[in-house]
Amino acid sequence: MDSSNNNLSNIGFTQDFGEFTDRDFHALSKFIYNEFGIQLPDKKKFLLKSRLIKRLKILGIPKYSDYVNYVLESGQKGSEEVIEMIDVVSTNKTDFFRENAHFDFLIDKVVPDFMGRGIKSPKVWSAGCSSGEEVYTICMVLEEEVRLNRLRDYQVYGSDISVSILKKAVKAIYPFSRAEQIPDRYRKRYLLKSKGDGKQEVRIVKTLRDKTRFMWLNLMDNQYVLSKNFDIIFCRNTLIYFDRETQRKVVTNMLEHLKPGGYLFIGHSESLLNQNIPNLKQIKPTIYLKLK
């Protein structure tokens, strides 16, 4: 036999995991929707199939159908494999200073409002924080307000359903190309450049890292293991993955953790129009105030 046949993996051979049937896709997508609120329409079938290959290889499961049964029979959404699965399925896209108008509003309107109300150490929650860019952007903005003596202190919490992406957020190390989106005045003060290893990376300074806390959290849970005294909640570009009913449930649950007079920011591609969520007043197209 030709010895080259023993090295198929080296010439692009890929393992055949069998057919990912419509039945398997619909069963798994229904589970993901029920447990995590993420919609996966039929056009996402190939995407889901390709993303699951990693899990089948790691577990040594030979067929997609066997994997779907394995996940569905796990029973609990907090089980180890379900957490691993949602980790590879979830989409994580974010940037520093994304939708910058929100941070301008934070500086120009929110902080002066807090100063007038005696809120000197605001507490912020970034829901769906991904790899932490939003969290550290908030920290940079608020740290400047501390330097100007407009605030005394602050805390920023970040939550996500992806364990691997949360680990990246905790490390706070990013390619230098990502940091180019950060304005110079923040970049010089709050970034550390890698030295001597050839890597073009930066790390958020410890002063800001110490102001953060990251945690795994499923927004579809009926109750969140979080305090109920946040002054600001950012939930941007996360609601777009939910249908209207799920959006209403998630926002209503989040508001339980926002103090009266607190602010909710959503993404520019999102809307809560006609949702009729109690005690929530729109003050800008994507900015809301919780009423007292």
Q: Is 51 considered catalytic here?
A: yes
Q: Tell me: the pLDDT tens digits for 262-278?
A: 999 999 989 888 888 98
pLDDT for the residue 280: 93
Q: What is the pTM of this model?
A: 0.85
Any alpha helices (H) in the chain, and if so which ranges?
22-36, 45-59, 64-72, 80-89, 101-105, 111-116, 133-147, 163-171, 176-179, 184-190, 206-209, 244-255
What is the pLDDT, as a whole number, of residue 10?
39
| 235 pLDDT more than 90 | yes
**Given this model, what pLDDT does residue 15 score?**
62
Q: What is the pLDDT of residues 33-50, one digit of tens each?
A: 988 888 888 998 998 999
Does residue 258 register a pLDDT over 60?
A: yes
* Distance, CA of 143 to CA of 37 (rounded, Å): 34
Q: Which of 87, 160, 231, 236 is catalytic?
A: 160
Segment 17-23 mean pLDDT? 88
User: pLDDT tens digits for 130-171?
Assistant: 999 999 999 999 999 999 999 999 999 999 999 999 999 999
- Confidence band (pLDDT; 50, 70, 90) for 4? very low
pLDDT higher than 80, residue 54 = yes
SS3 of 197, please?
A: coil
Of the listed 51, 150, 189, 248, which one is catalytic?
51
- Report CA-CA distances (Å) from 72 to 41, 79, 162, 264: 19, 11, 19, 35
Give span(s): CATH 1.10.155.10, the chain. Answer: 3-89
So what CATH class is 101-290?
A: alpha beta
- Report the distance separating Cα 169 and Cα 130, nearest Å: 7
> Which residues 6+ apart lie within 8 Å of 260 measured at CB?
279, 290, 291, 292
Helix axes 80-89, 22-36, angle to 10 degrees: 100
Give the mean pLDDT of the chain: 89
For range 107-118, the mean pLDDT: 97
The type of residue at 130 is S
Residue 261 has pLDDT above 60, yes or no: yes
CB 131 within 8 A of CB 165: yes
Q: What is the pLDDT of residue 39?
A: 84
CATH number of 3-89: 1.10.220.10, 1.10.1740.10, 1.10.155.10, 3.30.465.10?
1.10.155.10
Query: Percent of the chain at pLDDT above 90?
Result: 62
pLDDT for 198 equals 65
Tens-place pLDDT, residues 72-111: 887 555 578 888 888 888 777 788 999 999 999 999 999 9
Q: Which residue has the higher pLDDT, 209 or 4?
A: 209
Q: Where in the chain is the domain with CATH 3.40.50.150?
A: 101-290
Q: Three-state SS across 264-276?
A: EEECCCCCCCCCC
